Structures are given as C-alpha cells and as structure tokens.
A and B are shown apart, each in its own frame.
Chain A
Amino acid sequence: MKKSIIFLSFILLFLSVFGSSLTVRIPQNIDFLDPHKAAASGTDEVMFNVFEGLLKPDSQGNLNPAVAENYTISQDGLTFKFFIRKNIKFHDGSYVTPDDVKYSLERLSGLDGGPGYNSAMISTIKSVTADKNDNSVTVILKTADTNFLSNFTKAVIPRHNDQYQNSKPIGTGPFKFISYQPDQNILLEKFKDYWKTGYPKVDKVEFKIISDEQAALLSFMAGNIDIYPRIPAQMLDILGNNIKIISGGQNLVQLMAMNNARKPFDDIRVRQAVNYALNKDEIIELAALGYGTKLGSNMSPVMAKYYQEGLENYYSTNTEKAKELLKEAGYPKGFSTTITVPSVYQFHVDTAQIIVEQLKKVGINAKIELVEWGVWLDRVYAGRDYDTTIIGFTGKLSAYDVLKRYESGYSRNFMNYKSEVFDNMFKKAYAEIDDKISTDLYKELQVILTEDAPAVFIMDPNFIIAMDENIDGYEIYPYYVQDMSTVYFK
C-alpha cells in the first residue's frame, strides 16, 4: 500500500515536472503578435488560444461571453453594456479592469488618437466609457447595426502592456504566450488562472512552423508532431494504423473567380458556359481525392442555418450547352484566357491544372500564370487586374460577412460583380431585425449568385486533421482556428 502511494506520487511528480505537451503543425509564420494589428488567418488560428474578446465564438458558431460575463443591448440597438467577469486575470497576474477594456476598444476604433485597426469600429463606435463601480463598459454606436456584436470578439489587452504588445503579448486566453521563432515555432504555456475552470487540459503547446507538406508528414510519422491539421488528402493512406483522423467541412469556399468587368467575362453567357464546362466532381476527386463538398454558391453547408440547398447541381457539366452558350455570346471557336494563381497554394495550382484540361473541351484555351502571394493580393485582389483566378474564401462568423464580398460597393469586390437586385436585397437582409426573414433573404441572395455566375463555386474542401490516437477533445471550428484548450491526452 505504502509502496504504491510512493509510486503514485512519483508518477505525479514526473507528470508535474514534464507535464503534457502538444505539438501542432502550422504552415506559416505569424504576421503580428499584437492582436489588433494582426490580420492573417494563420495568426488567428494560433493566437485564438492566447487572446479573448468580450465575447468569444465557439465551434458551433455561437458568440459566448468571455471577458464579459454578460451584456445588455438597448432597445434602439445603439448602446451595448458589458459587465466584466469577476476576478478575471491577464497572463501577468493583473486583474482585467474596465479601463483595460476601454483601452482595447479605443485602440481598435482609433478613439485613442491612434490610427485604429478595425474599420467597422472606426466608423461606428461613438464612445466607450468605463465604470469602475459596477465593473462595466458601455459602448455607444453612431448608427444601429444588427451585425455589430461579432466585432466584440476582438482581443482585450492590458493598458500597461501598451509598448510590448508586439513583443510580449498578454491576453486572457487559456494559454500564455512564451516565445516565437520565425520559421521554427511558437510556444504557449498553460495559463493557470484561466477563468474557465478545468481548461486548458495540457500544459504546453508548441506550434511548429513547417511550410513543406512532405517534411510535415515525415515529422508527423516520426512522432515529432502530435496534431497535423489540414493534412493533404493524398497523404492519408500512408499514415499507418495508430493514428486518428477527423474530417469535416471547414466553411471555406474554393472558387474560380472571373473578372466580371473584363471581356469576355462581362457576358453572363460566357460565365455560365464556363460553369457548364467544368466538372466539379472530377476536380474534387483529382485535387482533393473526394474529400470535399460540392458547392453551387458562395456558402458552405457548414453554415447550416444560412445554407441554401440544391444549388450545387444548377450547372451540371454539359459540354454541348457550354459550346452553345459560347456561340450565342459570339465565341463559336472559344477564346484564350489566363488563370492567375497564387503559387503558395499547391491546392489551387492543382485545381487550375485540372480546370485547364476541362476548359479545353469547350474550346477555351486557358493559360496558368503563377504569382507570389503578395503579387496576387496587390494585382488581383486589390488591383482587380486579371482574367480569372482560383482562391479560397475562409469562413466568417455571419452570412453578412460571407456575402458582403459581392456587394457592388465593397472595396474588395474584386470580381467586379454588379447587380442592383443583389445590392438591394443585401441591404434588406442586413437591416431586417426578424431573424427568420433575414435568413431567408440570405438564402435568396445565394440563388442570385448562382444564376448570375460571377464565379464558379467549386467546393468546400474538407478539413482533415491527423493526430496521435491518444489525443482526444479536438473540435473543428467553422473558421480558421486551432482551439487547444479542449484537447487532452487519453
């Protein structure tokens, strides 16, 4: 008996010294450690574990209170009052005060005299006041906005760390930031005073930066990585036995965008012809080995509430019809075009190669042009100088954010899609307070997109995660996030 106690305490000691440590592969570097300056989704996915806003999204897409314990919204939708969670601490041990929240919101919206980092907040927030007595913060908006709540997921950070936000970031999340080595790793450590008791379950997390898939795979197979998110489907059958694989829709919309303002894609018949020419099933099979969901509009079925069913076969592959439409549009012999693809995304490059072959069959001669990511963003996304391109839109919290891209006035409507019908209905959906009606309108908008065919909506490639079979608790989020707080070793 005594011996077993000693033995047990030895094990406990052993565990407490070494702790449980998780290694997760990520493909890219961080843009900013400062959460307000950071914009890349690759940063979000890691720092989701470090920072929290007043509210925090969960894996079902709900907004839950985090730094705020609860909140009230005034009848006119202009005043938001957040009550700060009692005894919630920052990673450095100091308590979160209403003043810190005020500081964070003012920094984001530029009310502190700085540039501001969130344009929605810059244009909408009128004032932020902190009240020490009831531990609350009140935000007053200039105009009512049904969609504004999701902005309060932006990180709350301490005022006293202002100078070091980008070198020693401090938040309230389940993990503390320890270090970042570009091209090597990001180290996080369990935050013992985390407000949600029982979380996180592991002591340390290392996000290992490995850009190359083959190297990541070999590292994973050698046991140097515990979790390998977004593993290419092509690698699954070589993984061996003691590995667990989780797979599901990731709320990404992969599409072939056409420049609606440029000949010949200014003609709806040409865009529809391209839609008829492509075989999405073949693309899914060849590029994703079948691990993908066919789409018909700019919405993934992961957004179950808003997803309009039945659009994915609106343009079932039909070479004859495509040729006919091209003839009507004045291109009986087809035409030549260029597909501009960001070279960093092998998945899109593969897709482009398949599309080139498929377009050949209707007489469209497409050439691939590979550009660096910075060039793509500059020339295609911001400059709108391209014929066609292939890209994936990452998931958003709301249907509004997803469909905003097609509003004619939106600054990043890089497909140059213009439709009065769409714009009007979009405004209506946004202003509608009745959830049922606005949801129906968002569904209607998807139908319009399918009919107008500004792009070919290809698929939502599956989010496939391979992990050590002893790991449990991993949750798939409908947006770019690796939540490590729920993960544990069995």
Chain B
Amino acid sequence: MYYYLRKFIAMFFTIIIVTLITFFSFEIIPGDPVLSKLGIDADEAQIASLRAELGLDMPIPVRYIKWVGNILKGDLGESVRFSLPVYDLIKTRLPVTFSLMIISILITLAVGIPLGILSAKYNNRIGGFFINFITQIFLAIPSFWVGIMLIMIFGVILKWFSPGGYVSWSENPAESIKSVILPSVAIALPNIAIVIRYLKNSVLEQMKKDYVRMAYSKGLNSFRVMKNHVIRNAVIPVITVLGMIISSVLAGSLIVEQVFTLPGIGRLLISAIGNRDLPLVEGMILYISFTVLFINFIIDILYKFIDPRIKYD
C-alpha cells in the first residue's frame, strides 16, 4: 500500500513540475498570443482591448496560482486563439486521438501477438531471419513517412479515401473507422515489431522451462502445449510493454495527425504552442502527462496483480 501511495504522490509532483515549467517557459518564449491571433492587419485598438480582456498584464506567479485555483474548481480556462473553453476544445478533439490510439493498439495486438507466437514456433534459421528482418524494418520506418506513403497509395493512386476528411463517430461509425484506419496502421507498425520481439523471447524462455518439457514428455502434441501452457504464461509480460506502447502511440499520433490532417489532440497542441495559447497548452499538457503517468501507474498495479512474485521495496 505504501508503495502505491508513494507512486501516487510522485505522479502528483511530476504533474506540478511539468505544468510549472510550461507556465514559466511561456514567459520567456518569444511571440505574442494576441498578435498571433489577430494577425498583420490588426488595429491597435483591437490589440489593446484583447490584451486587457485576457489579463496578460498580471505577473506570472499570480497567473499560475490563479490557474491552479481554477483547476481545483474544475475550470481549465479559455483558449486565447479560439475564445472557447479549453475543456470544450479538448473534449471535441479527444475522440479523434482516442480512436486513433485504440485502433492502433488493437492492430498492434491483433498482428503482433500471433506473429510473435509464430516467430517463436518457427525459430529456425530462415523463419527467425525473416521475422528479425521484418521487425527491424518496422522499427526503422518513420511513421510519418509511412503515412505519406499510405496517402500516396490509397489516396492518390487508388483514391480510396481522402485525407483531412475526418468523420466523427456519431456521424457515421463505419466512415469514422475508415478515416482513422490508415493513420492507425502508420502508428502501429513499430509497436507491432516491439510486441513480436518481446513475445518471441518470452515464449522461447517459457519453452525452456521444466513444465513444458514435462508436458512434451507426457506425449502432448506441440499445439496443445503451446496453447495450454506456454502462451498463457508468455502473454503476461506483454502487459509491461503496453505502457510503453501507449505512450509511443500518443507521441506517434502527434506527428501522424499532422500527416493525415486529423483534428486530434496532437494537432491542437502543435497549433496551440505555435499560437502561444498558454491556457490551451497548459490544459493539454496537464491532460497528456496525467494520462501517461496514470496508465503507467495502472499497468504497474496490473502487473503486480498478475505476477505476485514481483516484489517492490
């Protein structure tokens, strides 16, 4: 119990540090949110009135404390660029990034687990060589380039879809999935490779164990052995890589949303940083760091739950 409490407090502090750094770095960043919003043809009167409206004249520590105070009240503030509540902006973008993440994780597992098991089973010279090569390539290909190539093949040559046309889940579920499937593939490739490699090693390790040898000596066929003993034990460690995969999917979606012009969190964040939209950036940093840390926390618990042999000091 003490362990979780400590972890939880560490998580809390990490979030405070991250938001604090973001807040103060925006003070030294060159660039002006008001000018950025209003552009080259802005009238001085418009600039002055917006500055006053946003309260940008207050000192930074005061604004940070105010911001934290509002967070505790459940108010994330209002975006400078969009003049809309930060919460609403994040809420409308979340489903896009979320469906990207879920679909790419599903693809990762659906392809990675069978291939990982197969690669362990056929771990002879040619099979091993082949799998090794494929996974290496998956790891080496930059996801945004895969994205460009997928657009080229499916968008330009085959004309199966048109990028930038994101369809929301509530509008049309089938179209919605269609619009995120290619970006999800682009994100999934390196993660598939990670799962395959991890699972292969884990299966091979299990196969060396005594209970597997026993099972074989009892005359069970290799399929049954695999199914009943090895896989069940080998899949467990995959959960540890899941945390890594989730944060890599999150980072991947940052760039891939740009490639496919999907209106997700990543694109919102990049444009918010570009527009010096501090309330929006802070809101999203808060959200992202919380998600990543929380998922890692959950996986930690999950892992301990599944495999009680692991002890924490």
Contact = CB atoms under 8 A, between A and B. Distances in A.
Q: Do chains A and B touch in the complex (CB under 8 A)?
A: yes
Interface of A: 29, 31-33, 37, 39-42, 110, 114-120, 122, 166, 181-184, 210-212, 214-216, 218-219, 221-222, 224, 344, 371-375, 377-379, 381-382, 391, 393-394, 411
A218 B37 contact: no
A181 B92 contact: yes
B219 to A, nearest CB: 60
B164 A216 contact: yes
Given A182-B89, A212-B261, A373-B36, A119 B44 contact: yes
Contacts of B46: 37, 39, 117-118
Most buried by A among B40, B89, B165: B40
B178 to A, nearest CB: 13
B274 interface: yes
A122 B81 contact: no
A115 B54 CA distance: 13
A374 B35 contact: yes
A207 to B, nearest CB: 14
Contact of A41 (B35, B39, B163): B39
B208 interface: no
9 contacts: A31-B39, A115-B48, A118-B46, A119-B43, A120-B43, A183-B267, A212-B164, A224-B165, A378-B35
A378 B275 CA distance: 11
Contacts of B165: 219, 222, 224
B40 A116 contact: no
B179 to A, nearest CB: 12
Given A224-B165, A375-B31, 11 more contacts: A31-B39, A39-B39, A40-B37, A115-B52, A118-B46, A183-B263, A218-B156, A372-B274, A377-B40, A378-B32, A411-B44
Contact of A40 (B39, B164, B263): B39
Ranked 8 nearest A-B pairs via Cβ: A374-B36, A215-B164, A115-B49, A374-B31, A39-B42, A377-B35, A222-B162, A39-B38
Nearest to B50: A37
A315 to B, nearest CB: 26
A281 to B, nearest CB: 27
A230 to B, nearest CB: 16
B255 to A, nearest CB: 13
Interface in B260-281: 260-261, 263, 267-268, 271, 274-276
B24 interface: no
Given A29-B81, A184-B263, A218-B162, A117 B31 contact: no
B254 to A, nearest CB: 15
Interface string B10-23: 00000000000000
A373 B42 CA distance: 14
B35 to A, nearest CB: 4
Nearest to B258: A212
B32 A374 contact: yes
Contacts of A120: 43
Contact of B45 (A31, A110, A381, A382): A110
Given A184-B263, A372-B274, A394 B41 contact: yes
A210 B41 CA distance: 22
A40 B30 contact: no
A477 to B, nearest CB: 15
A40 B37 CA distance: 7
Contacts of A118: 43, 45-46
A68 to B, nearest CB: 22
B284 to A, nearest CB: 14
A432 B47 CA distance: 31
Contact of B41 (A39, A114, A221, A344): A39
B84 interface: yes
B33 interface: yes
A382 B32 contact: yes
A31 B48 contact: no
A344 B31 CA distance: 14
Contact of A117 (B49, B81, B82, B156): B49
Nearest to B81: A29
Nearest to A385: B30
Nearest to A411: B44
B76 interface: no
A266 to B, nearest CB: 24
A107 B151 CA distance: 49
A221 to B, nearest CB: 8
B155 interface: yes
Contacts of B39: 31, 39-42, 373, 377
Contacts of B32: 374, 377-378, 382
A224 B281 CA distance: 32
B261 A117 contact: no
A394 B248 CA distance: 42
Given A116-B49, A166-B83, A374-B275, A215 B261 contact: yes
Contacts of B227: none
A219 B162 contact: yes
Contacts of A377: 31-32, 35-36, 39-40
A106 B134 CA distance: 69
A116 B45 CA distance: 6
A218 B164 contact: yes
B209 interface: no
B206 to A, nearest CB: 47
A369 to B, nearest CB: 12
A39 B83 contact: no
B274 A373 contact: yes
B59 to A, nearest CB: 19
B149 to A, nearest CB: 13
Contacts of A114: 49
Contacts of B41: 39-41, 394
A382 to B, nearest CB: 6
Contacts of A37: 46, 49-50
